Structure 1
Amino acid sequence: MDQKTDLSDAYENGAYIPDAAGYPPRWASEAQAYRQRLSPAQKAVLGLPYGEEARHRMDLFLPDRTPEGLVVFVHGGYWQRFDKSDWSHFAEGARARGWAVAIPSYDLCPSVRIRDITAQIVQAVTIAAEEVQGPIRLTGHSAGGHLVARMGTGVLPEDVAARVKAILPISPLSDLRPLMETAMNANLKLDAEEARTESPIFHSAPRAKVTVWVGGAERPAFLEQAEWLEEAWGCARVVDEGKHHFDVIDSLADPSGALTERLLSM
C-alpha cells in the first residue's frame, strides 16, 4: 500500500474515543441482561435461523402487544467483528413503542466478502419479514449502516422492498472506495468493481424515506461519508452534536430517544 494514500488513520475510530476499549464489554453485558429480562416473558426469540450457516441467525424481540411492524437493526464492526448478541438492548427503544425488532448476525470478513454479507442481510430481512407483518423500518450502525443502505438499492425481493418505509443508516460507509487504501483491506479484499457495486452512493435513492445520522464528534471521514450519501440520494442528514462513533447509537435503546423518534416517525 502506497504510504501517500494510506487512509487507515482516517477510518480509525477507537484511537480517538476516550475509553474506547470499554465499550464492547459494556455493550455485551447490557445486551445479555436485556435478553435475560425479556426471555421469561417469551418476548425474546433467540437464534432464529435465516440460512444454513452457524452465524445465519437472528434474535427477534417482541413488543407487549401485536407489533406495529418490524424494525431490523444491523450491527457494525467494519464487517469483521461482533455478532447479534452484543447489541440486544438497542432493540428496546422501538420494542417499547410497539415494534418487533430483529437483530441478525452475519459471516465476517475475511471468511467472506462484503458482497456476501449484503446477500446474507437480504435473506435475514426477508425471513424476518415473514415472521412479522406490517411496515418495515431498517437501521444499522457503521458497517451496518452501509448494509441497511444497500437494502434500499434494489436487492430485496419486491414484496419485501414494498414494505420498507424508512431506512436510517447511522454513521454509515456509503462509498467503499477509500477503504481500499486502508490496512483493513487485507481482510475486506475490496477491489474497484466490488467497492463501486457495494457503495450505496452509486445506486438510485430508495423509495423509502431515508435519514442518514452521524455524530458531530466523529472522525472527518465519517462526516464526509454521511454527507456523500445525503448528496447522492437527496435525503435528510442529521449531525448529532457531541456524539462520537461509539455513543452515537445510544438513543436507540431509549423509547423517547432521538434515534428512536426519527426511526419511527419517518
Structure 2
Amino acid sequence: MELDDAYANAAYIPDAAEFPPKWEALADAFRKRLSVTGKARLGVMYGHGTRQALDLFLPEGVPKGLCVFVHGGYWLKFDRSLWSHLAEGAVEHGWAVALPSYDLCPRVRIADITRQVAQAIAVVAHEIPGPIRMTGHSAGGHLAARMAEPGVLPDDVRARLAHVMPISPVADLRPMMRTSMNADLRIDEDEAQAESPALHPAPEVPVTVWVGADERPAFLEQAEALAKAWGCGHVVEPGKHHFDVIEALADPGSDMVARLLG
C-alpha cells in the first residue's frame, strides 16, 4: 500500500536479519545471569491470557524505583523474551525493571494492548514502591507515551511517573491506516484519534522523545511530531538506526540511561 515502504525498517538496515538472533542470545544470557543470583522473576502474570505476563529484574539492595520497558513490533510480533538485556543499564543503577508482553493484533485491537500494558504496570507498581520511569521502542514507544496521558494508568500509579521516554515512537497512528499492516491492525479513524499521543494535549509528566538520526524519515517525523505536540525534550542520536538505537539501554554508562533515570 501507499506507505508500506515508509515504515519498512529492515529493508534499509544493513544485515537486518542478524539483529533478532543477537537480541535473543543477549536476552537469554542476561536472564540466566540474574536468575542464578535470584534477581529475576520470570513470567509474572498480570492478566488472564498467556501473553499477559512480565519479567521483573531486581538490583542489589532495595530498588530506587521501577523502570518499565515496552517492546515494539508494530503491535503484531515479538514478546518480552528478546529484550531482557535492555534492563541492564537501569538495574546496574539500582532500579527494578519490568518488561511486559501483551496480546498482539489481530487477536486484539491496539486500544486493548494499551489497557493491558497499563494493567501490567499497575500490578508491578504495587510490588515495587517509589518513582516510575517508562520507556518503550517503536510500537512500544507509542505505548509508553500513552501511559503518560490522563486516564490510562490508575491515578495513584500515574502520580508516580517521574519520566517517560518514547524511543522511535509511532505517535500518530493515522499513517498506519495506509499500510498493508492495517489488515491486521484494523485501525479506523476513531481509534487513530483516540490512540495517537501526538494528537492529544501534553501530559503533566516529564517526557523525552528519542530517535536515531539514521532512521527512516517517517520515524524522524513521528518523533518530531510528538515532541512538538507535547513541547518536550527531543533527542536525535547521530549514527543510530531503528534497530540499534535501543542498544544503549543495556549500557549503564550511556547517555540514554542517564537521561531516562536522571
Report the TM range for the smaller structure's normalisation: over 0.9
Which residue pairs with 1:42 in the alignment?
38
Q: Please point out which of 160, 176, 187 is paired with 1:163.
A: 160
Give CA deviations for 1:183-209 in whole Å, capped at 9, x if unaligned.
111110000110111000122212211
Which residue pairs with 2:238 in the alignment?
241
| 2:189 is the counterpart of 1:192 | yes
TM-superposed CA distance for 1:234, in Å, is 0.3
Q: Using the TM superposition, name which of 201-210 and 157-166 deviates more.
A: 201-210
TM-score by length of 1: 0.97
Which residue pairs with 1:172 in the alignment?
169
| 2:82 is the counterpart of 1:86 | yes
| 2:206 is the counterpart of 1:209 | yes
Query: What is the CA–CA distance in structure 2 between the aligned matches of 1:167 and 1:206, rounded to whole Å?
Result: 10
Give CA deviations for 1:81-123 in whole Å, capped at 9, x if unaligned.
1101110000000000000000000001111110000000010
Query: What is the CA–CA distance in structure 2 between the aligned matches of 1:245 and 1:65, rounded to whole Å?
Result: 34
| 2:79 is the counterpart of 1:77 | no
Which residue pairs with 1:117 in the alignment?
113
What is the number of equivalent residue pairs in this alignment? 261
Identical residues among aligned pairs (%) = 62
Give CA deviations for 1:146-173 in whole Å, capped at 9, x if unaligned.
0000001111110000000100000000
Q: Which runs of 5+ in 1 are unaligned?
A: none
| 2:15 is the counterpart of 1:24 | no
TM-superposed CA distance for 1:79, in Å, is 0.5
Query: What is the CA–CA distance in structure 1 between the aligned matches of 2:138 and 2:252, rounded to whole Å?
Result: 22
**Residue 241 of structure 2: SS of its match in structure 1?**
coil
Letter in 2 for 1:192: E
| 2:97 is the counterpart of 1:137 | no
**Residue 126 of structure 2: SS of its match in structure 1?**
helix
RMSD after superposition: 0.7
Give CA deviations for 1:221-249 in whole Å, capped at 9, x if unaligned.
00000000011000010000110000000
Query: What is the CA–CA distance in structure 1 between the aligned matches of 2:127 and 2:230, rounded to whole Å?
Result: 30
Letter in 2 for 1:37: R
Query: What is the CA–CA distance in structure 1 between the aligned matches of 2:108 and 2:65, rounded to whole Å?
Result: 31
